[in-house]
């Protein structure tokens, strides 16, 4: 596991492996709210993305993007200051290494991944290899599961959510979900397959002790289902006419496919 650190901007980040080492996963940036918002407006108003998602506003306004970016900055503040402190420890130059499935140097497991922004690096510092210019091209996030396999509004769903939400950070019984999207300009190049791999292996397992991940995708979203499968998720039941589709996306209900990962086949 490697966490990179941009000591100029004091930003920790993850980097995808080759052939996508020009793609990094970063936190949200409090001083780039406008840039973030305009990238999100462009990506999330594109039907190739919007119609595959259930919960993002559509149409997606600048005010949605600004609020989202601000809320993310606030949520990520605490873990970022802890990480900066850790990465700036004497002897810890630019890169922090870890061996895997144990709390890092006795540090407690955390409950959040701050590496939610997928960015393409456009320019690096030739001396240090540090990114100096990049653009936002997508989003990848872990959250406690919302148990969409239970009917919308059902008691089963709220009980499952409540029980799961009450588990303490690092509990291996927590069921997590993973959600993602990428700008259509970058689809089909293998980027999300590696982004999912990176977030699981470089952060979720070693720092959050994530052992159970459930996700779902609309039945017709073969790209997303393949990304999960290529990361050792198992294709589960298809729930017919299940997930509510907002009126702005055409209304009605769509079938979803459940995907589950237990980490068993993953070499850590
Ligand atoms: C789904 C999404 C994240 C996939 O990201 P990506 O970087 O384009 O995916 P990859 O390039 O890593 O592709 C992984 C696999 O899916 C396949 N794939 C990708 N897009 C596909 C599509 N539209 N139709 C069929 N297969 C597709 C690829 O061929 C590859 O499989 P292979 O290696 O067996 O050939 C991206 O298309 C996206 O953002 N879509 C809109 C939002 C979305 O659907 N989010 C997920 C909601 S559950």
Ramachandran region of residue 258, left (φ > 0), alpha (ψ -120 to 50) or beta? beta
Backbone angles phi, psi at 31, to 5 degrees: -95, 15
User: How much is the pLDDT for 93?
Assistant: 47
- Reported as half-sphere exposure (CB side, CA atoms, 13 A), residue 52 has a value of 20
User: How much is the pLDDT for 213?
Assistant: 98
User: How much is the pLDDT for 96?
Assistant: 43
Question: Is the Cβ atom of 52 under 6 angstroms away from ligand 1?
Answer: yes
Best mutation site among 54, 227, 245 for ligand 1 pocket (most ligand atoms within 8 Å of CB): 227
User: How far is CA 238 from each of CA 83, 97, 149, rounded to the nearest angstrom?
Assistant: 40, 40, 10
Ramachandran region of residue 91, left (φ > 0), alpha (ψ -120 to 50) or beta? left
CATH of the domain at 125: 3.40.630.30
DSSP H or E stretch at residue 234: strand 234-244
Quick check: is 112 in a domain?
A: yes
Best mutation site among 223, 227, 231, 260 for ligand 1 pocket (most ligand atoms within 8 Å of CB): 223
User: How much is the pLDDT for 43?
Assistant: 98
Question: Is the Cβ atom of 180 under 6 angstroms away from ligand 1?
Answer: yes
**Farthest CA pair distance, the chain:** 57
Q: Is 222 exposed, middle or buried (0-12, 13-18, 19+ CB in 10 A)?
A: exposed
DSSP H or E stretch at residue 5: strand 2-6
pLDDT tens for each residue of the chain, 268 residues long = 689 999 999 999 999 999 999 999 999 999 999 999 999 999 999 999 999 999 999 999 999 999 999 999 999 999 999 999 999 987 664 444 433 334 456 689 999 999 999 999 999 999 888 999 999 999 999 999 999 999 999 999 999 999 999 999 999 999 999 999 999 999 999 999 999 999 999 999 999 999 999 999 999 999 999 999 999 999 999 999 999 999 999 999 999 999 999 887 665 4
* Token couple for 115: 């590496």
Quick check: is 268 in a domain?
A: no
Query: Alpha-carbon dihedral of residues 190, 193, 199, 204, nearest 10 degrees?
Result: -170
- C-alpha 228 to ligand 1 mean position (Å): 9
Question: Is the Cβ atom of 226 under 6 angstroms away from ligand 1?
Answer: yes
Nearest-CA residue for ligand 1 atom 8 is 187
CB atoms near residue 17 (< 10 Å)? 13
- Please tell me the total count of domains within the chain: 1
What gap in Å lies between CA 27 and CA 227, rounded to an integer?
22
User: How much is the pLDDT for 196?
Assistant: 98
The domain of 75 spans: 2-261
User: How far is CA 207 from each of CA 22, 99, 105, 166, 200, rounded to the nearest angstrom?
Assistant: 24, 11, 11, 19, 10
Decide: helix, strand or coil at residue 81: helix
What gap in Å lies between CA 130 and CA 24, rounded to an integer?
11
Distance of CA 178 to the CA centre of its chain: 6
Nearest-CA residue for ligand 1 atom 41 is 49
Per-residue b or e along 89-124, where b marks 16 or more CB atoms closer than 10 Å to that residue's CB: eeeeeeebebeeeeebeeeebbbbbbbbbbbbbeee
């Amino acid at each position: 596991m490697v966490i990179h650190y941009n000591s100029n901007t004091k930003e920790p980040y993850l980097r995808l492996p080759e052939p996508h080492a020009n793609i990094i996963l970063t936190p949200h940036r409090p001083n780039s709210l406008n840039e973030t918002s305009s990238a999100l407006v462009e990506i999330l108003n594109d039907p190739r993305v919007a119609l595959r998602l259930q919960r993002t506003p559509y149409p997606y306004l600048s005010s949605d993007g600004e609020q989202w970016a601000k809320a993310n900055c606030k949520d990520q503040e605490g873990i970022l200051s802890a990480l900066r402190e850790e990465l700036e420890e004497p002897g810890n130059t630019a890169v922090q290494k870890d061996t895997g499935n144990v709390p890092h140097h006795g540090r407690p497991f955390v409950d959040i991944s701050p590496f939610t922004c997928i960015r393409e690096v456009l320019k690096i510092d030739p001396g240090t290899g540090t990114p100096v210019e990049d653009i936002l091209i997508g989003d990848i996030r872990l959250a406690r599961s919302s148990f969409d396999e239970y009917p919308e509004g059902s008691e089963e769903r709220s009980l499952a959510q409540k029980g799961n939400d009450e588990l303490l950070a690092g509990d291996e019984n927590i069921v997590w979900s993973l959600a993602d999207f990428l700008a259509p300009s970058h689809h089909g190049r293998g980027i999300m397959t590696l982004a999912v791999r990176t977030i699981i292996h470089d952060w979720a397992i070693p720092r959050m002790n994530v052992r159970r991940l459930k996700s779902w995708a609309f039945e017709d979203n073969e790209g997303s289902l393949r990304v999960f499968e290529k990361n050792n998720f198992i294709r589960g039941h298809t729930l017919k006419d299940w997930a509510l589709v907002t009126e702005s996306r055409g209304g009605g209900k769509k079938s979803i496919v459940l995907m589950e990962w237990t980490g068993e086949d993953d070499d850590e």
